[in-house]
């Protein structure tokens, strides 16, 4: 009979980047959320990466790299501008936190 190995599990904080101990974890989480929205938009509109790149003003290999998770070189503002170029309105809403610590998030 094979030996069973038990794994230890640690609860997530809700931010994988913070769980990994990365600096600027909140910013990475926001960028990841924006890239997910960019990816969904490209898929929903059935755009090729080449057409999406033209709309966003970058080249296709950069779109491919961004969608593969290589988005560190982009600011949050630039990612929001990509969404605008793809036909989305982007709103920034500031409101008091009802409970718990305040947070940044992409809705």
Residues 8-37: tens digit of each pLDDT: 887 888 888 888 888 888 899 999 999 999
Q: Please state, as a whole number, how many other Cβ atoms lie within 10 Å of the Cβ of residue 43.
A: 11
| Residue pair 74/80 in contact by the 8 Å Cβ criterion | no
Of 1, 81, 101, which Cα lies nearest the Cα of 37?
A: 81
CA distance 18 to 24: 8
Q: Domain tally for the chain?
A: 1
What is the pLDDT of the chain when averaged over all its residues?
90
Domain contains 104: no
Structural domain harbouring 77: 18-85
| pTM as predicted | 0.82
Query: Does residue 60 belong to any structural domain of this protein?
Result: yes
Q: Does residue 94 fall inside a structural domain?
A: no
Q: Residue 72 falls within a domain, yes or no?
A: yes
Examine the pLDDT at 1 and tell me if it is beyond 70.
no
Handedness of CA 46, 62, 106, 82 (dihedral sign): negative
User: Rounded to whole angstroms, how far apart are CA atoms 52 and 60?
Assistant: 8
Could you give the CA distance from residue 3 to residue 84 in angstroms, rounded to a whole number? 54
Q: Is residue 36, in this structure, part of any structural domain at all?
A: yes
CATH code where residue 22 lies: 1.10.260.40
Q: Per the domain annotation, does 10 fall within a domain?
A: no
In a domain, 31, yes or no: yes
Mean pLDDT (whole number) for 70-91: 96
Helical (H) or strand (E) element with 19: helix 16-19
Question: How many Cβ atoms from other residues are within 10 Å of residue 54's Cβ?
Answer: 15
Inside any domain, residue 71: yes
């Amino acid at each position: 009979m094979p030996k069973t190995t038990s794994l230890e599990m640690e609860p997530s904080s809700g931010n994988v980047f913070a769980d990994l101990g990365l600096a600027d974890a909140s910013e990475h989480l926001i960028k990841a959320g924006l890239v997910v929205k960019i990816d969904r938009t490209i898929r929903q509109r059935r755009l090729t990466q080449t057409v999406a790149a033209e709309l966003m003003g970058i080249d296709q290999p950069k779109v491919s790299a961004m969608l593969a998770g290589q988005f560190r070189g982009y600011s949050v503002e630039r990612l929001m501008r990509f969404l605008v170029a793809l036909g989305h309105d982007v709103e920034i809403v500031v409101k008091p936190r009802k409970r718990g610590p305040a947070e940044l998030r992409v809705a």
